[in-house]
Amino acid sequence: MENQNDNKYLGQEKVSKLLFKFSIPCILSLLISSLYNIVDQIFVGNSSVGYLGNAATTVVYPITIIAVAFAWCFGDGSAAYLSLCQGRNDTKNSHKSIGNSILVTFIISIIFMILGYLFMDKLLYGFGASDVTINLARDYFKIILLGIPFYMLANSVNSVIRADGSPKFSMAATLLGAILNIILDPIFIFGFNWGITGAAWATIIGQIASFILSVIYFFRTKTFKLNRESFKINFEVFGNVIKLGVSTFITQMSIVVISLVCNIMLAKYGALSKYGADIPIATIGICMKVFSIVINIVVGIVLGAQPILGYNYGAKKYNRVKETFKLVIIATIIVGILSTIVFELCPEIIIKMFGTSDNLYMEFAIKTFRIFLMLVTFTCLIKVISIFFQAVGEPLKSAIVSLCRDIVFFVPLVIILPRFMGVTGPLWAAPIADFIGMIISGTLTILFFKKLPSVTINDKEQVVIKPSKLGVIITISREHGSAGKYIGEVVAKKLNIPYYYKELTALAAKESGLDKEFVSKINSTKDVWHDLYLTTSPVKYAIKAQDKIISKIAEHGSCVIVGRAADYVLKDNKNLVKIFIYANEEYKIKKLQEMYGDSEKDAVKNMNKSDKNRAAYYKLISGRTWGDYKNYDLLIDSSIGVEETANAILEYIKNIKK
């Protein structure tokens, strides 16, 4: 979606056609990434080590998720930062974010590898290894650790490659590693008789191949170029990267917490049962890997829907939002029901793919699939609803839905239920958490849609860019309560040039097809979620539309533009004069009481909230600090009065023209 006409296509084309077009590549990409884990489990389970090998790989799996949590945090963060830099034509910082992410990922991977070797047994026992599986887990883990730097770097840069406009290359890099892993697994495990170490070598060779192909891409990037300067740590830039990637990190670490607690409780109570510690660990590992295929299908569907949902929500085409969501939910339910039928009626078919063993193993494996995945449809729906809320600019609801099921309910239930139910307790934790999580996420979804109007809102206001003359372009940034917008209007009248304030958002809405009210409010959401909100799909569309219309307005000649980071958008314009208007608190409170009828308490609250949000918005758009004197030509205290401030600005402009 490179231009506004493409964005409008999201609001006009048949929803089912768009969903099919966008979802299929997402599904394929996610399924490919899950092959690494599935293939190892299948071949190891059918080797001489049998289910004990699967137990060993299950113990190692959550440790590798910790590594990938860091990689994806930095990768997704730098990819998001790259997208922001692309939007504001910032070539200075985009490459720094990527270089810094690569450097920090590499450093952490080395630290992770060293710590893994130093504390290997403590880690493996801590994640559920037993005295029976510890040697297998060691053999597997010590080789996997060798590949950690390649694994982390490949996963980190994968997101950047997608953000650079090459999703097919990104998928090819992942696919190459997966194919090599599939080919080498049987050769190493059975042909060379290396057993579980063969699976580890096949895995890291695939990871190295993915890494090498990703490195090759960096010699042919589209929107940035890496150089020595890219790898010098810039704390401000990298701080933004972490901020943008932290939600991914939290999501991945929640998987680690779930796996860790589940493994510990299964090992503890399994040892007290007839199954022993290793059978429950092995079967839950297989169950989780098979489940990942199902969840990746539905996640691929909703990720494909994200741009459709985001654009139409921003355009207030709520009927299309509902239609898209309905199709996603129907597809998710179909996938969930079909999966449930297989898991409940014939789990043996799946289990035997991963090797066979004695009756006790099969007995517990069947229980695991039938109980743990009993409400897999609800699990899928919860995940879909979480991503849906992110797509429509509701990060708080997204976090509640995601963490509620996994952390708030599942983890405590895994700890509590075994006290009453023994080794099957952790299995029952999943459907119970799914049921409660579905009630919460379903309630939030119903309330969300109830608030939406039942019909599409069409804004019929006609606005055009006003004719002007060659001359100065004045941008005004201002503190809330400083009367900056009124001062800008007075300046425009005295110079007899067009004035843009509310008109700017109306023009941006017209240009993009988004709703005017939605565009107007993108920099005034709740403080605590402001940064996350500004990175959601509908807001990104609005920001691009605003930037484009600001540039068009400037092309028509002299004017005054208030707010919307216009000073940065037009920073290369030779006729630009950048003004920042501020005032003392007493003056601003008085002005807010006059203009809006605020009480003194409300005036202070609104003033602080508005300025904080404006600063966050400006930082997102420009990467600069709002109100910093270095970013403006003139900073002026408006407490001298509206007319007096306007005259002072005019005098300044007259002097710089001489």
Between 398 and 180, the more confident residue is 180
Complete edge-to-edge strand list for the sheet that includes strand 499-500: 499-500, 559-562, 473-478, 576-582, 634-637
Confidence of residue 1 (pLDDT cuts 50, 70, 90): very low
> The dihedral of CA 309, 312, 313, 317: what is its sign?
negative
Q: Cα separation of 40 and 206, whole Å? A: 12
Domains of the chain, CATH where assigned: 11-29+272-456 (no CATH), 47-262 (no CATH), 473-657 (3.40.50.300)
Mean pLDDT across 456-461: 49
- Strands in 455-612 per DSSP E: 473-478, 499-500, 559-562, 576-582
Question: Comparing 638 with 545, which gets the higher pLDDT?
Answer: 638
Question: Does the predicted model carry a pTM greater than 0.85?
Answer: no
- The answer to whether residue 536 scores a pLDDT higher than 80 is no
Q: What is the pLDDT of residue 289?
A: 86
Q: If you average pLDDT over residues 515-535, what whole number do you get?
A: 58
* 499: CB partners within 8 A, 6+ apart: 488, 489, 492, 493, 559, 560, 562
User: Mean per-residue pLDDT for 251-259?
Assistant: 83
The reported pLDDT for the residue numbered 527 is 45
| pLDDT of 3 over the 60 cut | no
Phi, then psi, of 578 in degrees rounded to 5: -105, 120
User: Taking residues 374-402, what's their average pLDDT?
Assistant: 86
What does the alpha-carbon distance between residue 222 and residue 219 come to, in Å, rounded to a whole number? Answer: 10
First to last CA, the chain: 45
Answer for the pair 74, 261: CB distance below 8 angstroms, yes or no: no
From 142-156, 494-508, 535-549, 597-611, the region with the lowest mean pLDDT: 535-549
Name the 3-class secondary structure at 348.
helix
Residue closest to 41 by CA, chosen among 148, 189, 158: 189
Instruction: Say if residue 416's pLDDT is above 60.
Output: yes
Tokens representing residue 260 in the block? 């860790």
So what's the pLDDT on residue 140? 94
pLDDT recorded at residue 2: 40
From CA 42, how far away is CA 285, in angstroms rounded? 11
d(CA 488, CA 493): 9
Question: What DSSP assignment string belongs to 275-324?
Answer: TTTHHHHHHHHHHHHHHHHHHHHHHHHHHHHHHHHHHHHHTT-HHHHHHH
* Stretch 620-643: mean pLDDT: 86
Q: Is the pLDDT of residue 540 over 80?
A: no
Mean pLDDT in residue range 585-600: 84
Region 265-288 average pLDDT? 90
Asked whether the beta carbons of 471 and 497 are under 8 A apart, the reply is: yes
Quote the tokens at residue 436.
């409660």
- Picking from 51-55, 397-401, 527-531, which range would have the lowest pLDDT averaged per residue? 527-531
Residues contacting residue 136 through CB under 8 Å, at least 6 positions apart: 49, 52, 53, 55, 56, 196
Taking 80 as the threshold, does the pLDDT of residue 495 lie above it? yes
Which structure tokens are listed for 159?
């997101």
Return d(Cα 491, Cα 649) in angstroms, integer. Answer: 8
Q: CA–CA separation, 351 vs 619, rounded Å?
A: 52
Averaged pLDDT of the chain: 84
Residue 446, helix vs strand vs coil: helix
pLDDT higher at 172 or 307: 172
Q: How many CB atoms lie within 10 A of CB 541?
A: 27
Give the residue with greater pLDDT, 648 vs 242: 648
pLDDT-based confidence at residue 299 (cuts at 50, 70, 90): confident
Mean pLDDT score, 483-500? 90
Check residue 220 and give its pLDDT: 86
Q: What percent of the chain has pLDDT over 70?
A: 90
